[in-house]
Chain A
């Protein structure tokens, strides 16, 4: 891995933006909401202050909320693959990068996802402090970016200067033309040490660890799931914001001279998600559906395929759940029962 020293991260960002269109988390105009938006002349300098995570993870860049799959012109079906322009996502955090790697595997044969993904280069940033509600160290998803999950990784050192790590040839090509001083091995060593220090600053997550055990031993009583099911208002917020959630439904929309099939994000918390035309529903109760959601995030069954849990510790579900059954609430409840 090549590594360089960088004084001004904004200079890097501008250099990248001159080559491809660049998206980065920034405050929506006139608000304090951190969202993924295109870089413009109004975009502020890169900061490492809280909030670290934008409202959404980066998944909608590859698996958008709604996407047309094909068109029917009255006589035949025409596949409509996206033809995205080359782009860069700048400032992706470690948890969200782990989720992209997870979805890369999940959607490995999906041509729509892969077309968008292939057009995208990723620039990660190490988190130098815990974010609100985050627990990435517990699920091996941060706080620093894992090797190979981004094309370039930026790390702010203690003197506020930056260490730039190059993980892919595409990343190396991106920084050509920038005059950078090569980093030395002690810079890398110091970064590794610092990750341990940052990880140690996260609040205790024993409820997550215990909860994972209980889920994998199927030890949580059905009544506990049912009680939490009563709190599920079926809003779909958790599945919308979860960086690894990937369920979708498809439907036909009439257009001039035919129709098009679109897919949109779906949620396994909906009563009708599994309901069959006969009315029979294999997951008929809210408690079953809540259990299934967390099983999908924390079961060892999936680690064979994905080399990690479906949860990357971002904590977005806790913030967006109106029924107080986000990850911390659920894991506290199930680790308290036995």
Chain B
């Protein structure tokens, strides 16, 4: 390594650690510290641009307040410990739990922010070292319905097209997502396309930035996605606007769908969704008339009790209009974390091995058992919410959580805290003291993305290399090394890899999607998009061009259902959660930046001027928001961004945790909690005082 004794010593090319867009970022190192970032001018996705979070990365990895040694809790305070001692405590508790209740009494939460190598190690640790399929991660609360829904209809749950396709579309449909705030660089490319003449159709209860720029905005009521799409399909079929040839050649089950959507005439749909009939007709016409219409969606589709059905109806719409399988079209879920796609690809899920090979299929089990030289558990494991439930019932005794903060980000905070407190042992692998880490019995210090090698897979399935810019502080290590060491203590020696690259080679050998990839090949190409194999040695920018992964695209009729909790007299307002451009997740990284922290200091409630007036609320008024599950106090921002009758709150702030309010009613298929809609009451705490 070439170093100068002062000033800039080197720049390490890496990938932004925030959302799933996967922008190229150079980490500038001065005196052994990351002091700044340089956008990668030639990166195919970001093209020299970064969002405000990316630009603030140096703060996020600031060594200040990093955990640098293993910590063991004694008398409610943490004391530093050696790795040996920490491993010993964990090994004893895990072994006891296994001896008393079996391996399914243990649970592992992997991390959508960790590398593919770390996630692969986490699921291998659960399955081979412990003997349980109890492994999951936070895709559960973002895109598990995408994986479940699109696997049924198309056979693959990932973004069908590439980010480059945004500029190849004539129409972009932005459905229940806010890309300029949450996936800004991708959102910026939508702006660029719009300025170049592409039409925009936005479907969102909120008047987002892109909705303000859109040619047409369908401002539907919360939780009425299926009714809206069925309504669009009814209009399409009634007018003969469907893609007849595409439907007959590439899809199945058309008649059942026709029969279902016939029950959704425009007047009924307008009544359910609040969207005027003429706008429904205009939207149906726009989508079917476009030569190439690219549809993108986000949490506004998935975070509902009908999440999986919402995804299915998105798929129905694209298939009926034939807007899939070509450049500039497709169904494109926007992924929240830098590696949520990869964490799913790696099988950090209770039902699949790496590459979505079913745990339930004996052939896959045999394949992995042979490679890992271990007998593998047969029954499907618990989801993350299943594990917290199990912790409360006593079925789950110990958990290991890798870099996630469910106390802030999962629904129903009280429930999560009770569950974690009920465990015999909670192990948290973390960079800093999060709310969840504070509840741990043992904390293991992890290396940050800037301190280790590995790969991240972005939302367009691009697997990209990262490399260490600086050494990890103190005794912190990459997650895979931590888990490898623990596996050895537990008597399993199949995880003693020499490098992240060795893990990647093991992944490529076992997962057909990654089969043709290697570190040198990734380095030479700014990453490669899966599937990458003999048939597609340079990766696959476009999925489903000739046929769907499952063969024919399946149309599945689904019905509208109200959110589990609707506003009523006691709780008269709809409540929804959002994300802000300036913050990310639980805020443990973004809130270290003085600029981002200044922008939105400690939580806000967005409220429409009409509702604000009714409650005598002014800007920055202190209010209490109550739901059937709890209450939160914060200050108001009055904005027409939210419609009358709906209030919104970002979920980043531990001072105003929105998850005290949200409903943990779940999607029956994926157990996705309904984070996007519940009923609340807002009380003005300053009323009468001024």
Q: Do chains A and B touch in the complex (CB under 8 A)?
A: yes
Residues of A within 8 A of B (CB): 21, 23, 28-38, 40-42, 51, 55-56, 60-61, 64-66, 84-85, 87, 230-231, 233-237, 240, 249, 251, 253-254, 264, 266-267, 270-272, 279, 319-324
- In contact, B55 and A84 (Cβ under 8 angstroms): no
In the assembled complex, the CB of B548 is this many whole angstroms from the nearest CB of chain A, namely 33
Chain B residues, CB < 8 A from A55: 26, 38-39, 41, 48
Give residues 1-42 of B contacting A (CB, 8 Å): 2-13, 26, 28, 30, 35-36, 38-42
> Are A23 and B187 in contact, CB atoms less than 8 angstroms apart?
no
Contact check: which of A32, A87, A271, A272 meets B7 at CB < 8 Å?
A87
| A237-B8 contact, Cβ under 8 Å, with A33-B13, A270-B595 | no
Since A21-B5, A85-B5, A319-B47 are in contact, a sample of 6 more A-B pairs with Cβ atoms closer than 8 Å, ordered by chain A residue number, is: A28-B12, A37-B8, A55-B41, A320-B48, A322-B188, A324-B192
CA distance in complex: A109, B373 (Å) = 69
Asked if B620 CB lies within 8 Å of chain A CBs, one says yes
Residues in B with CB closer than 8 Å to A233 are 51-52, 180-181, 184, 187-188, 581
Kindly state the separation between the CA atoms of A34 and B36 in the bound complex, as whole angstroms.
16
Decide if A323 touches B191 in the complex (CB within 8 Å).
yes
Q: Majority SS of interface residues in chain B?
A: mixed
* A-B contacts, 20 listed (Cβ < 8 Å): A23-B8, A28-B10, A28-B13, A31-B40, A31-B42, A33-B41, A35-B38, A38-B3, A56-B38, A87-B7, A233-B51, A235-B49, A235-B184, A236-B595, A249-B595, A272-B598, A272-B599, A320-B49, A320-B50, A324-B188
- Contact A30-B52, Cβ < 8 Å, known A230-B212, A270-B598, A324-B195: no
B382 at the interface (CB under 8 A from A): no
Inter-subunit contact B48/A236 (CB<8 Å): no
Residues facing A in B139-159 (CB within 8 A) are: none
Q: Is the CB of A237 within 8 A of B55?
A: yes
Q: A33 near B595 (CB under 8 angstroms)?
A: no
| Chain B interfacial residues counted at CB < 8 A | 54
Distance in angstroms from B429 CB to nearest chain A CB is 25
Closest residue to B209 on the A side, CB-wise? A230
Residues A321 and B49 in contact, CB atoms below 8 Å apart: yes
| Residue among B36, B42, B54 with the highest chain A CB neighbour number at 10 A | B36
From 154 to 189 in chain B, residues with beta carbon under 8 angstroms from any chain A beta carbon are: 180-181, 184-185, 187-189
Contact with A along B518-546 (1 / 0, CB 8 A): 00000100000000000000000000000
Question: Which residues on the A side are within 8 Å of B668 (C-beta)?
Answer: none
The answer to whether B7 and A84 touch across the interface, beta carbons within 8 angstroms, is yes
Question: CB distance A38 to B187 under 8 Å?
Answer: no
Contact of B11 among A28, A271, A319 (CB under 8 A): A28
> Which of A51, A61, A230 has its CB near the most chain B CB atoms (within 10 A)?
A230
A271 to B637, CA, bound (A): 13
Secondary structure at the A interface, as helix, strand, loop or mixed, is loop
Q: How far is the CB of A64 from chain B (nearest CB, A)?
A: 7
What chain A residues lie within 8 Å of B2 (beta carbons)? 38, 40-42
* A61/B7 in contact, CB under 8 A: yes
Cα distance A79–B54 in the bound complex, in angstroms: 31
Q: How far is the CA of A61 from the CA of B620 in the complex (A)?
A: 41
A309 to B5, CA, bound (A): 36
Most buried by A among B55, B64, B209: B55
> Given the known A-B contacts A40-B2, A230-B212, are A319 and B52 also in contact in the complex, defined by CB atoms under 8 Å?
no
Q: By the criterion CB–CB under 8 Å, are B55 and A235 in contact? A: yes
Q: How many A-B residue pairs have CB under 8 A?
A: 142
Residue contact A28 to B26, C-beta cutoff 8 Å: yes
Shortest distance from the beta carbon of A90 to any chain B beta carbon, whole Å: 14
Q: Which residue of B lies closest to A66 (CB)?
A: B35
Given contacts A234-B52, A321-B49, whether A32 and B42 have CB atoms under 8 Å apart is: yes
Q: A85-B6, A235-B184, A267-B595 are in contact. Are A254 and B64 (CB under 8 A)?
A: yes
What is the bound-complex CA distance between A23 and B498, given in angstroms?
Answer: 36
A253's contact among B64, B195, B620, by CB below 8 Å, is which? B64
Is B8 a contact of A322 with CB atoms below 8 Å?
no
A65 touches B38 (CB 8 A): no
Q: Are B184 and A279 in contact (CB under 8 A)?
A: no
- Do residues A36 and B8 form an inter-chain contact, with CB atoms below 8 A? yes
> Which residues of B118-148 are within 8 A (CB) of A?
none
- Looking at the assembled complex, report how far the CB atom of A126 sits from the nearest CB atom of chain B, in whole angstroms: 23
- Take A56-B38, A235-B51 as given contacts and tell me if A33 and B11 are in contact as well, using a CB distance cutoff of 8 Å: yes
Residue pair A237, B42 in contact (C-beta under 8 Å): no
Which one of B6, B12, B64, B180 contacts A84 once the chains associate, using CB atoms below 8 Å?
B6
What per-residue 1/0 map shows which CB atoms of B208-228 lie under 8 Å from chain A? Answer: 010011000000000000000
Are B55 and A23 closer than 8 Å at their CB atoms?
A: no
Instruction: Give the docked Cα–Cα distance between A312 and B55 (Å).
Output: 23
- Determine how close the nearest CB of chain B comes to the CB of A38; give it in whole angstroms: 4
Nearest chain A residue, comparing its CB with the CB of B2: A40
B58 contacts the other chain (CB 8 A): yes
Chain B residues contacting A234 (CB-CB under 8 Å) are 52, 581-582, 599
Complex-state Cα separation, A65 to B55, whole angstroms: 11
A37-B50 contact in complex given A230-B213, A233-B187, A264-B594, C-beta closer than 8 Å: no
Shortest Cβ distance from A54 into B: residue: B38
CA distance A323 to B209 in the complex (A): 11
Of B7, B582, B619, which is in contact with the most chain A CB atoms at under 10 Å from its CB? B7
A231 interface neighbour in B12, B30, B189, B191, Cβ under 8 Å: B191
Quick one: which of B8, B38, B58 contacts A38, CB cutoff 8 A?
A: B8
A21 contacts which of B6, B28, B180, B620 (Cβ < 8 Å)?
A: B6
Q: Which residues of A contact B47 (CB under 8 A)?
A: 319
9 closest A-B pairs by CB: A322-B188, A65-B36, A251-B594, A38-B4, A40-B2, A322-B49, A272-B598, A28-B11, A319-B48
B8 surroundings in chain A (CB, below 8 A)? 23, 36-38, 60
Let me know if A322 and B187 touch, CB within 8 A. yes
Bound CA span A40–B4, Å: 9
The answer for the CA separation of A35 and B3 in the assembled complex, in Å, is 15
Min CB distance A278 to B, Å, is 9
Interface contact B36-A33, CB-CB below 8 Å: no
Output the residue of A38, A61, A235, A319 with the most chain B CB within 10 A: A235
Contact B38 A33 (CB under 8 A): yes
Evaluate contact between A240 and B58: CB separation under 8 angstroms.
Answer: no
A240-B56 Cα distance, complex, nearest whole Å? 11
Contacts of A230 in B (CB 8 A): 209, 212-213
Q: Which residues of B contact A266 (CB under 8 A)?
A: 595
- Complex: A115 Cα to B201 Cα, angstroms: 54
Give complex CA distance A253, B184 in Å.
29
Measured in the bound complex, the distance between the Cα atoms of B11 and A237 in whole Å is 18
Nearest CB in chain A: distance from B46 CB, A: 8
Quote the shortest CB–CB distance from A220 to chain B (angstroms).
18
For the complex formed, measure the closest distance between the CB of A326 and the CB atoms of chain B, giving whole angstroms.
Answer: 10
Distance of A314 Cα from B191 Cα, bound (Å): 23
Residue of B nearest to A34 (CB): B41
Q: Which residue of B lies closest to A84 (CB)?
A: B6
Taking a contact as CB atoms under 8 Å apart, the answer to whether B42 and A38 are in contact is no
| Closest Cβ neighbor of B23 among chain A residues | A322
- Which residues of A have CB within 8 Å of B48? 55, 319-320
B523 to A, closest residue via Cβ:
A30
A36 CB contacts on chain B under 8 angstroms = 8
Interface contact B595-A237, CB-CB below 8 Å: no
Taking CB atoms, residues of chain B closer than 8 Å to A240 are 55
Contact B35 A37 (CB under 8 A): no
Taking the closest CB of chain B, its distance from the CB of A248, in whole angstroms, is 10
Instruction: Kindly state the separation between the CA atoms of A55 and B64 in the bound complex, as whole angstroms.
Output: 28
Residue of B nearest to A269 (CB): B52
- Taking a contact as CB atoms under 8 Å apart, the answer to whether A322 and B185 are in contact is yes
B33, closest chain A residue (CB): A66
Neighbouring B residues of A84 by C-beta, 8 Å: 6-7
Complex alpha-carbon distance, A266 and B56, angstroms:
11
Choose among B5, B13, B187 the residue with the greatest number of A CB atoms under 10 Å from its CB.
B13
- CB-nearest residue of chain B relative to A329? B195
Q: Which A residues touch B5, using CB under 8 A?
A: 21, 85
Considering only residues 487-532 of chain B, those with a C-beta below 8 Å from chain A are 523
Q: Which residues of A contact B581 (CB under 8 A)?
A: 233-234
